[in-house]
Structures are given as C-alpha cells and as structure tokens.
Amino acid sequence: MTKNESSLTGRELQVVVLIGKNKKYREIAEELDLGYETVKTYAARIRRKLKVNSKVAVALWAQQQGMISDEE
C-alpha cells in the first residue's frame, strides 16, 4: 500500500476503483447509494490527496496501483 493509498478512506478507495472503471459520477452515486454532490466531494478529496488534477489521472493511478485491470 502506498502512502497516498493509505491516506484514502475506505469509501474514497471505493470511489477510486469506480472512477478507474470509467464510471460517471452519477453512476458511482447510484452504485454506492450516495448523492451526486457527495461523490463530487469525494472525487475532489481524492484528487487533492493524490496530488492530481483530473479524473483520468485518478483512473491511471488506480490502474498503476493494481486496483483495476486493463480490461476493466
């Protein structure tokens, strides 16, 4: 587990995996039974903690960490 990964909460890690699977925020909200704005807040926190500026960068990070496979 990397330092950045260990600073993410369990829920944030769930959101990271779904971002890595190319899910839209609305789809993530539905799948995790959260509000759309809540997912946007999680995504902003994740980007800040990982020191990245985009959803694509979060997805790439998740793939590099082995959280998702190339096929997903």
CATH number of domain containing 7 = 1.10.10.10
Q: Which two tokens stand for residue 34?
A: 């959260």
Sole residue written with tokens 């960068």: 57
Total number of domains in the chain: 1
Q: Which two tokens stand for residue 36?
A: 């759309």
Task: Kindly state whether residue 71 falls inside one of the protein's structural domains.
Answer: no
pLDDT at 69 (0 to 100)? 75
pLDDT at 18 (0 to 100)? 97
pLDDT at 14 (0 to 100)? 97
Q: Which two tokens stand for residue 69?
A: 């496979």
What is the span of the domain harbouring residue 8?
3-64
Q: Burial-class residue 71 by CB neighbours within 10 Å (0-12, 13-18, 19+).
A: exposed
CA 57 – CA 51 distance, rounded (Å): 9
14-64 confidence digits (pLDDT tens)? 999 999 999 999 999 999 999 999 999 999 999 999 999 999 999 999 999
